[in-house]
Amino acid sequence: MRQRRVYGADHDDPDPGPRPGHSYRELVGGPLDGLLLDVTGWTDRPLREGAALTTEIGRFGPGGRAEYGPRDGDPDRWDWRGDIP
């Protein structure tokens, strides 16, 4: 089984996986599919609304963002909503 990778971890990080005591959401679909998003310390509003995450591999290239938000009935999985500049 491959190790789960956390969004924002360096590609050469020897341990890019989840850390004990942190809270994560799984990103589903789009350019960040399969990554875990560390939401430790986030307040209720962003956890309900989702986030626009910087990515170089989305439709808009470097500086673009991929928008993800909680799945209805399964808020631990965040679905891709599309890419934005």
Query: Which residues have a Cβ under 8 Å from the Cβ of 16 and sit 6 or more positions away?
Result: 3, 5, 6, 9, 10
Residue 34 host element (H or E): none
The span from the CA of 54 to the CA of 84, in Å, is 10
Structure confidence at residue 1 (pLDDT): 52
The span from the CA of 82 to the CA of 58, in Å, is 9
The span from the CA of 64 to the CA of 66, in Å, is 7
Structure confidence at residue 14 (pLDDT): 82
Residue 72 host element (H or E): none
Structure confidence at residue 5 (pLDDT): 92
Give 3-29 pLDDT, tens digit per residue: 789 998 887 888 888 999 999 999 999
Give 54-73 pLDDT, tens digit per residue: 998 888 888 899 999 999 99
Structure confidence at residue 54 (pLDDT): 94
